[in-house]
Structure 1
């Protein structure tokens, strides 16, 4: 038995028991404060969390010192009659009179010894469990836990020192200038060390008294200088706020109170708010929110390529993948989903119930043992209820198992609650994109090949009369899906006009979203239904949080956010239409300040939203829903491009508005001279709002032909811009790509480079298609608004081929890896770089490579090939039409 100080152990156990309910009160107060401060600054929420953790820490010594010594009652023994009596303790030895016997007196209730046959049928129960006896063991287990978490913390401190010792100082002049600039900008008196470290996966702050910023070595080549400056601003803001010290204090508290889940919940939220604070500082300093959000995704992708250990005391720029999506939503201006907030509150309530039951059951007053003769017979036997388990009855219709899915295919079966297949169910991949749908057959089976770059797709499975099923990111080529649909989850109610009369034949919409995943942001997912003649509606939905929208021309509008629908829940919701918003905009030219006509504001998700500027540059749209709304900007007549009909930019290159609610939608020019400003415009709509001003800048027009190496025109080729020297496209996607006509001609309008230069590339085929020739490129050009480049011909090249093998460090062949080529001149657009895959023997044959110096590389692909690990790329100089063999790439 452990020989611990009994009083200390018992008092500490009781202290921790009291801390359970005290922590629940702190957690409940924290949850309420988070709700009250939801629309306040992240600094206020961060401070609130730290105060709650401080109160947690103070509760331990205060509670321990206030526990009374009466927790040690006189010991008891159990009599033959089943009663407990106290043992008479003698007085202290030095005061004993000689005539007093010091032997304890035990009251047995009889003076005679009963024979075994005469003893009553009593069961002398064992002494009930008393936590006081187990207190030393409980405290020993507690200190084992503390030792584990303290060791984890010590390991983090040690790793920080090792990483700092292995790091090398930043020497790039441009980056040093950025460090000095950011240091001055945020008000640091001393400039912290900034170093490159190959061992870290994400930018991090390490150290305690002398913190330093460690940047992954891959960021040197994969991120642009302005992106590195944003990362530095984030990390140095952590240092300016002393976040590294707060993080260390949090880790220490978690080690000491590791057993309390509320500590972990509050600490997790404090870390999230800490990142919100630094993200807000970066955006407030002038960074575009969308570019900064994309930067976080890029840094997270870089982190996946660097094998690292998790350092608990480091403060990093991206954090865990689980919170990255929440941060991006906050940066982009989306409010966090109420469902997530309910989950946190539910976690606290569940914790309260569990810990409350634990306190009640584990530390209640021990009960008195009962005589066996007085107990009911049912209590003397352990009865076991036998439960018969039967298989579910087979359905009349046998569901035939479909063939396995191909690597680029999604296969599944849709059944009802009885297990019968449902025919005619719509299976829609990428709900906003037409042409990626199918329906189930009589066996309820569907096979779908969605368009997907990353091997995954958004999938919605629906049929009228059933609650739909929604999968945000479904992997292709996986197991066969089994989806059961029922009709138990829906929203229903009645729609009324402003005077209270029912509104028939109106469209009622429920919008899910936004949905944030790896490289995917879906702003909204729409479900719709119609009201009947009495204005009643029932909309079958997938369990989620919805924003209800109704817009009836000439009658009114309704917008009700944050409608949470659980699984198998019938939600009742009546809707009342109100007067819509009259939105007015004035469009002017960036150079002349004169009105511009034929500029279109529209939404591909809601075609009823439309407005075109007149000769005075005036756009009026009646009956808009109140709240934030994002308009797409187009010009002229509608067109069909790449299967999508809509209003595209036409002669416009870019547009902006100082009245827009998003900072990056104002006019913003980056340090390198590049100005984006060709995305949506978001305005906060309200009754009686003043007209807004939209400034448009005309684009630069390129026209010419795409020719093969022999000078013949090439039809069906693609012309696209490239951000010279970056290895990336001009926009981060395939925007501004056009296809040549039958005579090989093309015409495309792009944003003017102004101080920034970019080049064009020609690709023989559509995106991800390769036909006969390798890419051709132009040299970077300087361009201005409304400028025209006629006869800007692009010549394709005779393709080169590289053959080789990919092996592991141990020399074993590696199959299924992508191998690609990147031209060393970096006049490339990564979306049109040639790629292939290794076969079962690790062998590859890479075709359609542009002649000249190229880097042959194996995935993961970086923006700049040379940022990959040594051995994963090799530089070759290829002649026109040459086949180069015997390249060997080695991966770790």
Structure 2
């Protein structure tokens, strides 16, 4: 079905039926497209600019009884939108109060995490800002510290002899880590963690000896099993065995063939045959990072001999495309060459419906090419509405804005070739077209509540673009077309809402049901 919106006064109801893949016998979808008229449900005012604005946080550290924890040390981990995760530390006053004033990106606020510990180390907590965080500023935060319990890890080599000087990391929940420290007992390490927090994994590694880990979580195959029991960290501690290592060297060069220094490299996933799942080293990324030297080389001397499946390493450096290198243990190739190309700038501006500069608007680029990883970048416009973003070259891109109040009709798909900056891009804001609907079980009439609804905006495919070419070194037959993904969730009545600009869309209902293709083509003026 195709629904075309041609003017601001038009609204159209349509219905369709399909047989989904799972659970539901039939689903009924009602799709309504309408444009919000001036002054009804949408504001003509631009959102306040976040340019040069700091996020103020005012917090209090308390114990389990609600009493202030004086002199608590509070760490905040945050993203500013243009750099890797950053860390800042503050010390609470005698009343347990602390403050931060930081350039936290609006879109990354929910990824902000805290670690707070009493000055004697007996109380500890980990916490994060909720997705529905208050809009109040300063943002109020209360961190409740709780008593800790000790944990121990024994590290031995392949001959079961204690290993001293090993590196250890303990994952608490999905987002947090604590370090383990050597004790007076050879090969024994200890750490502390909050009583209510579960240990997800422990890992040890040392150059020349290898690595080992244990997981305390359900494997992917067990997560839907209601009777499966989550393994717990042993009360008497864990034992990790480093039973041999391989050396893996990366040789990194730029697009001109010159050695590239200061590239951060780290491995992603490891798995030993005796474990039920992989260990994802991203949770402690900074602990595993090594940098290339002036010769563009870096060596990992602790890759475990038990690793049989391929390992992806991530490589990053400012001004260059985030890249990956793959190590295949079975092939025996322990020297890997990676070429990192420079990013290419896209420059432009965002204007409001009257053509005035629009500051503080989030602009998102979504690319697609023959490379494994599609280009994606997000920036915020400056005071004069201008923006500049750095993206991988040899891809075709769609630009869009992210805003609760505004939409853009997008920029026609355009190409970004290597070493060829793109200038003069303009995005014009308008009130969004609101797509609303309701999803029900046709057999019972019951609403399909609290389910995710996805929606894709499609750009022009490379095949349909005249005189446009991008690099395809492997001769891939991949169908290249950029897209933007939107999502929402049905409410208790099965209703959903999406705010969109002009374009061709594919609506993806829940339960893997058949998608609905439609077009938004309505102008406000």
Q: TM-score, length-normalised on structure 2?
A: 0.50
Question: Which has a greater percent of helix?
Answer: 1
More strand by share: 2
- TM-score (norm. length: structure 1): 0.32
Structure showing greater radius of gyration is 1
